[in-house]
Amino acid sequence: MFITFEGPEGSGKTTQARMLATALETLQCKVVLTREPGGTLVGEEIRKILLGPLGKDLDPKCILLLFSAARAQLVRHIIKPAIDSGKIVICDRYADSTRAYQWGGDGIPRDEVERAIQLGTEGLEPDITFYLDLSPEEGLRRRRTDSARGAESGWNSMDARELEFHQRVREAYLSLAKEYSSRFYVIDAAGRIEDIHRTIIEIVNKKLQSRIGGKV
């Protein structure tokens, strides 16, 4: 099974991905938790470029291709082998981030974005995508607070984009949720962390029960 988490900055998707991984491991499931960009040595170096000081000066199409390069390495060397061996893969961001940010936010034509995605994913789509929805204003407020507290993931070049960019990203995500409704689950990220986790567990339970008879 392949599960992805999507959402704007500050939505809590990373926390929820980790909580789900822990819950599945208590069920004795074999879980691989990874992230984009990153998850491999090459991917983590690309992440530093994209989210670091250099990121603010990159052309949108350069950003698109760098994300796709990191994804190709991750899919080929981590995600696909794990799925093929029967493990559950949980990924913090995946191709829908590229659709939302590069198509929705930066306005790169959708067909160009999809070509780059196809190269990186080799057609691999998630079984479940959790989209944690949150207003850009609240998401960025949370990020500023976390950064001030010295959180692991500090303020980055993507956070620093103008508010209108983040609004377009949210609109794109909501559009994608309708387009890929069979796998997208939209969750209000303004709720309590425990309540959001409970909702996610209920959805994953149904999928697991239909596949392997498991329950979290």
Q: pLDDT of 56-112, one tens digit each?
A: 899 999 999 999 999 999 999 999 999 999 999 999 999 999 999 999 999 999 999
Tell me the percentage of the chain whose pLDDT exceeds 70.
93
Residue 216 has pLDDT above 80, yes or no: no
Does 8 appear as a known binding residue? yes
Give the pLDDT score at 180: 98
12 is in an annotated binding site: yes
Q: Which is nearest to 126 in space by CA: 91, 74, 81? A: 91
Is 210 marked as binding a ligand?
no
CATH placement of domain 2-144+163-214: 3.40.50.300
What's the pTM value of the predicted model, to 2 decimals? 0.91
Contact 42, 73 (CB under 8 A): yes
Distances (CA, A) of 190 to 74, 137, 153, 210: 30, 12, 20, 30
Ligand-binding site membership of 9 (annotated): yes
pLDDT surpasses 60 at 158: yes
Q: Is 7 annotated as a binding residue?
A: yes
Flag whether 13 is marked binding: yes
Q: For the chain, which residues make up each domain, given as ranges? A: 2-144+163-214
In angstroms, the CA 103 to CA 113 distance is 7
Q: Is 4 exposed, middle or buried (0-12, 13-18, 19+ CB in 10 A)?
A: buried
First to last CA, the chain: 14
- 43 assigned to a ligand binding site: no
Confirm whether residue 11 is marked as ligand binding.
yes
